[in-house]
Structure 1
C-alpha cells in the first residue's frame, strides 16, 4: 500500500514568496526549524537559540499541536509539541494526515525507524546533487503490512516514550559531564 492510499499531505509556505512587512497589524511568526523538530521528536524542549521570525500579512502555513510534520531536509518526522504550535512552517516541511486506518504515532515510528522505508528514502536520493527529499518521494513510499489499530497505537506510544527517555538520559549524562569537568577545573586551579 502506498502512502497516498492512507495519508493526505500539506506542504509548507514557500519561504521565498513570503512578503515581510513592518505593518503594526501584521502578525509575527516564529519559523519552525530542524532543531524544533528534533525537540518535538524527543519530547524535550530546551531554551535554545532564537528562531528566525517573520512579520507578514500573507496567508501562511502554521503548525498545530500534534501535527505530524516530516522534514524534507533530514527525512525525520515528529509530532508538534504545544510549544511549537502556531509556528510558521516552510516548503522544507510536510504535514502528514493519516486516515482512520493508520495511527499517527505508528506512522511516525515507521518514517523514523522502519528499515524498508529508510531504504526507499535512501534509494530516492541516489544520483541527486542536493540531498533533499521530494514530496513525490514521500507520497510514493510503500508501507509495510499494517497491524491492527490497537497494535499500531501501542507501538507508537512505546516508541515516543523511548525517544523521550533517550533524550532525558542524554541530557542527564551531558549535565554530569559538565559537572565533572567543572570539578576537574577547580582541582587544577587549587593545585
Structure 2
C-alpha cells in the first residue's frame, strides 16, 4: 500500500518566503533544525537551546508534541517531543499525519527500519553526492500490508523504548569515559 493513502503530508514552511516582522506583538518561533530532530529521535533533551528564531505574522507550519517529522536531508523520521512543540518546521522537513489505521510510532519504525523502505529510498541516491529526498518519493513508498493496529502499537512502543534505552546507555558510556579521563588527569598532576 502506498504511503500517500495512509498519511497526510504537510510540507514545512519555506524560510526564504517568510516575512520577518518588527511588530513587538508578532509571534516568535524557534526553527526546528537537525539538532532538534536528533534530540527528538534519541529522546534525550539537549542541554543548550541554540535554535534560530524568527518573528513573523505569516501563517507557518509548526510542531506539536507527538507530530511525526521526516527529515528530507537524512531520510529518517522521528516523533516531536514536548520540548520542541510550537517550533516552526522549515522546508527540509515534512510533517506526516497518519490516518486512523496507521499508528504513528509504527510509521516511524517502518520508515527508519524496514529494509524494504530503505531500499526504495536509497534507489534514488545512486550517483548523487548529496541528496534531498522529495515529498513525491515519500508519497510513492510502498509500505506493504499493515499488521493489525494492536500489533502496530506494540511494535512502535517497543521501538521507541529501544531507542531511548540505547541513548541512555550511550550517555552513561560518555559519562564513564569523561570520568576516566579526569582520573587520568588527576594521576598525572
Question: TM-score with structure 2 length normalisation?
Answer: 0.96
Residue 20 of structure 2 is matched in structure 1 by: 20
Deviations 1:98-155 (CA, angstroms, capped at 9, x unpaired): 1111111101000111111011110122244641100000001010221111111100
What's the counterpart of residue 77 of structure 1? Answer: 77
Aligned length in residues: 189
Partner of 1:111: 111
State the partner residue of 1:135. 135
Deviations 1:10-66 (A, max 9, x none): 001011101112221111110101111111112111213510111111111110110
**Ranges of 4+ aligned residues in structure 1 off by more than 6 Å:** none
Asked if the contact 1:125/1:132 (under 8 Å) is kept, the reply is no
Distance 2:82 2:51 in 1: 16
Cα deviation, 1:152-181, whole Å, max 9, x if unaligned, reads: 110000000000000000001001101110
Q: Give 5+ residue unaligned stretches, structure 2.
A: none
Q: Normalized against structure 1, the TM-score is what? A: 0.95
Cα deviation code 1:65-85 (max 9, x no counterpart): 100010001111111111000
How many Å separate the matches in 1 of 2:97 and 2:128? 27
